[in-house]
């Protein structure tokens, strides 16, 4: 049994318009493991939106395959423009949440959640209504809000309706297309918390795309960085941190700061796993009787473990600090010397 | 002419006009709605993308729209005879009226349906819905208000066309106005007929507006950022004060139901 719930193999998408070809996806291999929250980040135009829309084949890839929950959707799609019944059935098992919610304005929140149940052929008005109420309750909406029309709800409430609607088909996979990009920071946090809770409670695998690093930091187990239609970096957050020069790690845990003068050594420390539980800095300071100054730090506590990076400054040149750096490495901290000549910016 | 002379003539002519308009409206909606939907669905990027069909439909609709109704009516005489068996009377007039109104209504349907946010279509597709589901659950309900407004416009256009149909033996108010107002110089009667037409059109417009507003009330409030509070405020304290410009008196927030 494959542990990957979503697998794309050499996915390509080329748009043709007025004789010009635009390559949106240039051979994307994506593997999302069961039960994880996977974030794809990138600037607009990097192809991440096309990628997520290819996963449920709202967008037909030009080449390559998409497998979701062990089924090859690209094979189900056939060659016609229209979606055959088999593909539609498969889609019903993949929930999708949209940036602009996409709720029907002529239906109440509850009726919006009933819509996928109608499409799934759930019989009986009462059965559908009861199920819709359950789902709305699950996402934290009251009976009053269930009776409201989307126009009467706030952005965060609308997105909760959107999430409830996406869960109606008991999906294994939830696709989130910039679901929090239209929301304010506070609401974003609460919606992300909800996604995280659903991921844990229901074992739901979540693939989300976003342009906000904070979203990845808040909920993602794994992340991939897209550039020009390709995935340039990918892995669990810990793996990314452990990768020297990782651009994603750098953006997730940005550290800044320059040496305060000549004859200083600036080093970047990366904490992941066990090292983060030890007070390494103060140990270093006491053991070698050196003054350590912290130039910048970006540390998060995830599941009781501290993860992140820190930039510190040690007195003396690099040659004077070899022992100290060795000490840090022994403690399981990843050490990268930021710049050998004071003043020059760090090697990215 | 006295009122007692006018009355039976008016009643009969009005009845004919109403029947003509009612039948041709029903037929135009029945035929124009699917054509309008097809114009959207078969277009580039549509769910049933089929460019030749789209071009052909568009051409037919454009030809229908560009022919003046009087000419269309005369051109269709033999067709009308083949369908109804006669070219005289309100039943016969229904045929050219319908042929004239179908392309008109179809364009209005097309415009209304195009306004539906494509994101909604995608959402239903992502749920596993097919084209028919999209039409039934998204395109029609979401454009209902515009469709009703379009139907109202069509009915009023048909009332106008029906007067022309009267000229070539279709009966109804147009026929009455021509025979009495023009040929017999009964100017007074003419004005009565005009008044009846004005009342008729006004009533249709009023009914159409009410229906469209009822359909729109549910959804389109989303234009306002936070419509819930203002709505409970303006309706709760003083229904007798309709002026929306005066700021509502301070309402204790406790009186609004917690949402």
pLDDT above 70 coverage of chain B, percent: 84
- Residue A9: name the closest of A48, A65, A47 by CA: A65
CB nearest to A102's CB, from B122, B130, B144: B122
Residue A275 predicted with pLDDT over 80 = no
Are B141 and A104 an interchain contact pair (Cβ–Cβ within 8 Å)? yes
At A222, is the pLDDT very low, low, confident or very high (cuts 50, 70, 90)? Answer: very high
- When pLDDT is cut at 50, 70 and 90, the band that residue A303 belongs to is low
CA distance B139 to B129: 13
How does pLDDT run across B170-212, given as a tens digit for each residue?
Answer: 889 988 988 888 888 888 899 999 999 999 999 999 999 999 9
DSSP letter at A273?
Answer: G
Tell me the average pLDDT across B55-79.
91
Task: Identify the three-state secondary structure at position B138.
Answer: helix
Are A279 and A224 in contact by the 8 Å Cβ rule? The answer is: no
> Which residues does chain B have within 8 Å of residue A145's beta carbon, measured at their own beta carbons?
259
Cβ distance of A104 and B258 shorter than 8 Å? no
- A342, pLDDT greater than 50: no
Print burial letters for A67-106: b (CB count within 10 Å at least 16), e (below 16): bbbeeebbebbeeeeebeeebbebbbbbbbbbbbbbbbbb
Per DSSP, what are the bridge partners of residue A268?
A: A311, A336
- Distance from the B132 Cα atom to the nearest Cα atom in chain A, whole angstroms: 11
Contact B7, B14 (CB under 8 A): no
Q: Which residues of A touch B (CB under 8 A)?
A: 56, 58, 81-83, 85, 88-92, 94, 96, 98, 100, 102-107, 115-116, 118-120, 144-145, 148-154, 165, 168-169, 175
A151 and B117: CB-CB below 8 Å? no
Give me the mean pLDDT over the A118-123 stretch: 92
Domains of chain B: 19-116+124-217 (1.10.3720.10)
CA distance to partner chain B, nearest, from residue A339 (Å): 49
Residue-by-residue DSSP string for A287-341: HHT---EEEEEEEEEETTEEEEEEEEEEES-GGGGHHHHHHHHHTT-EEEEEESS
Residues linked to residue A339 through DSSP beta bridges, in sequence order? A266
Rounded CA-CA distance A157/A150 in Å is 9
Res A104: pLDDT: 95
What one-character DSSP code corresponds to residue B143? T
Of A175, A164, A177, A76, nearest to A117 by C-alpha is A164
Q: Which of A258, A259, A232 is nearest to A247 (CA)?
A: A232
CATH superfamily entry for domain A1-93+173-178+195-250: P-loop containing nucleotide triphosphate hydrolases (3.40.50.300)
Among chain B residues, the shortest Cα distance to A141 is held by B259
Average pLDDT over residues A193-221: 92
Percent of chain A with pLDDT over 90: 53
Answer for the pair A167, A95: CB distance below 8 angstroms, yes or no.
Answer: yes
A38-52, A58-72, A214-228, B25-39: which is most confident: B25-39
End-to-end CA distance of chain B: 65
Inform me whether the pLDDT recorded for A305 exceeds 80. Answer: no
How many CB atoms are located within 10 Å of the residue A184 CB?
11
d(C-alpha A91, C-alpha A114), whole Å: 16
The string of pLDDT tens digits covering residues B135-168 is 999 999 999 999 999 999 999 999 999 988 888 7
When pLDDT is cut at 50, 70 and 90, the band that residue A331 belongs to is: confident
Provide the H-helix boundaries in chain B: 3-41, 51-66, 69-75, 77-84, 90-114, 118-126, 131-133, 140-142, 144-165, 172-176, 187-219, 228-235
Q: Do B219 and A105 touch (CB under 8 A)?
A: yes
Superfamily of domain A253-339: ACT domain (3.30.70.260)
pLDDT of A9: 94
- Phi–psi pair at A32, nearest 5 degrees: -110, 120
CA distance B80 to chain A (A): 40
Q: Look at strands A173-177 and A205-210 and give their pairing.
A: parallel
pLDDT for B196: 93
Residues of chain A with CATH 3.30.70.260: 253-339
Residues of chain A with pLDDT > 70, as a percent, come to 93
**pLDDT bracket for residue B259 (50, 70, 90):** very low
A282 — pLDDT class (breaks 50, 70, 90): confident
When pLDDT is cut at 50, 70 and 90, the band that residue B39 belongs to is very high
Report yes or no: A93 and A170 within 8 Å, Cβ to Cβ: yes
Q: Is 70 exceeded by the pLDDT of residue A304?
A: no
Lowest mean pLDDT among A181-190, A307-316, B34-43, B60-69: A307-316
Q: Which residue of A has its CA nearest to B122?
A: A58
Backbone torsions φ then ψ of A95, nearest 5 degrees: -80, 150
Q: Give ranges for CATH 3.40.50.300 in chain A.
A: 1-93+173-178+195-250
Q: Decide which of A230 and A346 is more confident.
A: A230
Cα nearest neighbour of B229 on chain A: A152
What are the distances in angstroms from CA A86 to CA A123, A333, B129, B256? 21, 51, 11, 49
- Choose among A227, A287, A234: nearest CA to A24: A227
- B-chain CB neighbours of A85 within 8 Å are 130
* Average pLDDT estimate for A130-144: 95
Residues of B near A (Cβ–Cβ under 8 Å) read 47-49, 117, 119-120, 122-131, 133, 137-138, 141-142, 144, 215, 218-224, 226-228, 231, 257-259
- Chain centre to alpha carbon of residue A173: 14
Q: E strands within chain A?
A: 4-17, 20-33, 37-41, 63-68, 71-72, 94-98, 173-177, 205-210, 222-227, 230-236, 264-271, 293-302, 305-315, 334-339
Q: Are A102 and B122 in contact (CB under 8 A)?
A: yes
What pTM was computed for the model? Answer: 0.81
pLDDT at position B256 over 60:
no
The angle formed by the CA atoms of residues A272, A278 and A280, to the nearest 5 degrees, is 90
Mark yes or no for CB contact B128/A107 under 8 Å: no
Inter-chain CB proximity B259 and A102 less than 8 Å: no
The interface predicted TM-score (ipTM) is 0.83
């Amino acid at each position: 049994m494959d542990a990957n719930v979503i697998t794309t193999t050499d996915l390509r998408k080329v748009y043709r318009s007025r004789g010009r070809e635009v390559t949106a996806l240039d051979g994307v291999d994506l593997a999302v493991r069961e039960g994880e929250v996977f974030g794809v980040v990138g600037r607009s135009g990097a192809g991440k939106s096309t990628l997520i829309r290819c996963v449920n084949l709202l967008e037909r890839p030009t080449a390559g395959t998409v497998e979701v929950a062990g089924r090859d959707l690209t094979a189900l799609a056939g060659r016609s423009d229209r979606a055959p019944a088999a593909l539609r059935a498969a889609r019903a098992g993949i929930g999708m949440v949209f940036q602009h919610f996409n709720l029907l304005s002529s239906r109440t929140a509850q009726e919006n959640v009933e819509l996928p149940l109608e499409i799934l052929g759930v019989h009986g008005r009462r059965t559908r209504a009861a199920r819709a109420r359950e789902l709305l309750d699950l996402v934290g909406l009251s009976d009053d809000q269930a009776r409201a029309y989307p126009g009467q709800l706030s952005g965060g409430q609308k997105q909760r309706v959107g999430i409830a609607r996406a869960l109606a088909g008991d999906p294994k996979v939830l696709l989130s297309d910039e679901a929090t990009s239209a929301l304010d920071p506070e609401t974003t946090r609460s919606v992300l918390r909800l996604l995280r809770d659903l991921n844990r409670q229901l074992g739901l695998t979540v693939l989300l795309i976003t342009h906000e690093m904070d979203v990845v930091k808040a909920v993602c187990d794994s992340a991939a960085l897209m550039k020009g239609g390709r995935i340039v970096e990918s892995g669990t957050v810990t793996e990314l941190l452990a990768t020297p020069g990782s651009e994603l790690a750098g953006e997730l845990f940005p550290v800044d700061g320059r040496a305060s003068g000549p004859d200083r050594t600036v080093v970047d420390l990366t904490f992941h796993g066990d090292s983060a539980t030890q007070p390494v800095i103060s140990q270093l300071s006491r053991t070698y009787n050196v003054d350590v100054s912290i130039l910048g730090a970006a540390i998060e506590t995830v599941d009781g473990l501290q993860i992140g990076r820190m930039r510190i400054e040690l007195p003396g040149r690099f040659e004077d600090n070899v022992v100290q750096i060795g000490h840090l490495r022994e403690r399981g901290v990843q050490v990268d010397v930021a710049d050998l000549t004071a003043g020059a910016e760090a090697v990215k | 002419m006295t009122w007692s002379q006018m009355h039976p003539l008016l009643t009969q002519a009005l009845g004919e006009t109403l029947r003509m308009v009612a039948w041709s409206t029903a037929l135009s909606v029945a035929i124009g709605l699917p054509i309008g939907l097809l114009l959207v669905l078969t277009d580039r990027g549509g769910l049933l993308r089929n460019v030749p069909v789209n071009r052909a439909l568009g051409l037919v609709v454009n030809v229908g729209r560009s022919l003046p109704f009087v000419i269309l009516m005369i051109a269709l005489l033999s067709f009308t005879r083949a369908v109804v068996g006669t070219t005289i009377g309100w039943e016969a007039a229904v045929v050219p009226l319908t042929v004239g109104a179908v392309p008109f209504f179809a364009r209005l349907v097309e415009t209304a349906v195009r306004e539906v946010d494509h994101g909604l279509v995608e959402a239903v597709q992502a749920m596993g819905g097919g084209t028919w589901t999209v039409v039934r659950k998204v395109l029609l309900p979401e454009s209902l208000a515009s469709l009703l407004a379009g139907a109202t416009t069509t009915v009023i256009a048909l009332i106008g066309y029906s007067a022309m149909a009267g000229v070539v033996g279709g009966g109804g108010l147009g026929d009455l106005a021509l025979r009495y107002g023009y040929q017999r110089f009964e100017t007074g009667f003419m004005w009565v007929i005009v008044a009846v037409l004005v009342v008729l059109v006004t009533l249709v417009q009023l009914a159409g507006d009410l229906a469209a507003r009822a359909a729109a009330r549910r959804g389109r409030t989303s234009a306002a950022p936070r419509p819930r509070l203002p709505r409970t405020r303006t309706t709760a304290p003083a229904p007798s004060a309709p002026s929306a410009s005066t700021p509502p008196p301070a309402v204790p927030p406790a009186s609004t139901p917690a949402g």
